[in-house]
Amino acid sequence: MYTEYQQRRQQLMSKIGNGTAIFCSAPMAVMHNDVEYVFRQDSDFFYLTGFNEAEAVAVLAPHHPEHKYVLFVKPKNKQIEIWTGYRCGVDAAKEIYGADEAYSIEELDEKLPEYLKKADRIYYHLGRDRNFNDKVINHWQRLMRIYPKHGTGPIAIEDTGPILHGMRLIKSEAELELMRKAADISVEAHNRAMEFTQPGRYEYEVQAEMEHIFRLRGGMGPAYPSIVASADNACILHYIENSRQMQDGELLLIDAGCSYGYYNSDITRTFPVGGKFTAEQKALYELVLEAQKQAIAQVKPGNPYNLIHDTAVKVLTEGLVELGLLVGEVEQLIEEQKYKLFYMHSTGHWLGLDVHDVGVYKYGEDNPQILQPGQVLTVEPGLYIVPDTEPDEDQPEIDPRWVGIGIRIEDDVLVTPNRHEVLTAGVPKEIADIEK
């Protein structure tokens, strides 16, 4: 991966010209009192450096004659490392991570102006670290105060996102290898969950089986809090309590995926706890599955991103009318967004270093992102007949036989040069394959 990170930095530097880009690592997060959460590096920082420690800063200065890539890191400290673990240190930052120059993070304020004073602008994302935001702004303001004397210096701060996130949107072969591994582990975990689930077991037992596989197979753990939602819980989109005992006749919705090498998978399946769908569950499930199949069929180079969602919405709305849950002309129902009573989220998102990965979905209202080879996205339509839902005045009352059914089906899909590849196809979703 050394060459991979180097190529990414070179690509970014070619785009920023005479600017200087600054990236700050993620901070440590406190769980309780003096215990910290497991560290997870900032995705932009990791994408460019592969460096996995807190309290670090990366500087890219393509205009500098010698130091185009500089790392500021925590210095070696044997006593502290005994307690908190190995540090790379300044020397190894050059040897292992390819920095042209490296300094202790304590020298940042002293050394940073050297890499800013001849830049025409600073590229920096004003993020969650307010103290570091202030530090960058203060350096910029000091340089602007002396700008009249020298006629050089950064006259603006520009966000790194529009440039860097466009790069991250297209996955390299090295990235896809990690994403396929994350998908394969998640597929195994979902298949185990289907095999393990039975009436009388608790949602958290299923969660434990899955997350055991995530770690057993070398994953970093869950890519996000696992959703294991039975019965009415499936109508809560981000349900994570996972505490309920499952009963025969109910559905179980599992939305879970693992992280592997910092890259993520994201799969959802819904299946009957006792092995057989009821008539109502089956009708809604078939509708969601058909919507997903038709939406996935739209994943190919040259198609606009929004076509995936629009396709799913049309299929779902037509089906809801056929089932009597909506009444009216399909096109008008879509225009008035009546379907949102039962389908309130989008049909997918970009996937990569972040579960909801970076990348533009549209450039203004009438200019959607066009699908390109190397993009990875989820396709996840659903239907949720939420208890106590009040229909609009021009819509029918909801028959109690539908209430409490929540269904979502989600796969990870790669845009290929010719069409697409479903990375998570190994988890069954046809009714004949999931009924026992």
Residues serving a catalytic function are: 34, 238, 255, 266, 345, 349, 356, 380, 384, 408, 410
146: tokens are 């002396």
> Closest Cα to residue 251, out of 276, 273, 235, 268?
273
Q: Which residues contact 69 (CB under 8 A, 6 or more apart)?
A: 9, 58, 59, 60, 61, 98, 99, 100
> Closest Cα to residue 178, out of 39, 50, 27?
50
C-alpha atoms less than 13 angstroms from C-alpha of 228 in its C-beta half-sphere: 27
Beta bridge pairs of residue 379: 411
DSSP reduced 3-state for 147: helix
* Residues 267, 363: Cα–Cα separation, whole Å: 28
Residue 18 CA to chain centroid, in angstroms? Answer: 31
Burial label, 128 (beta-carbon count in 10 A; 0-12, 13-18, 19+): exposed
If you write DSSP's letter for every residue of 367-413 in order, what string do you get?
A: -BPBP-TT-EEEE--EEE--TT----TTSPPPPGGGTT-EEE-BEEE
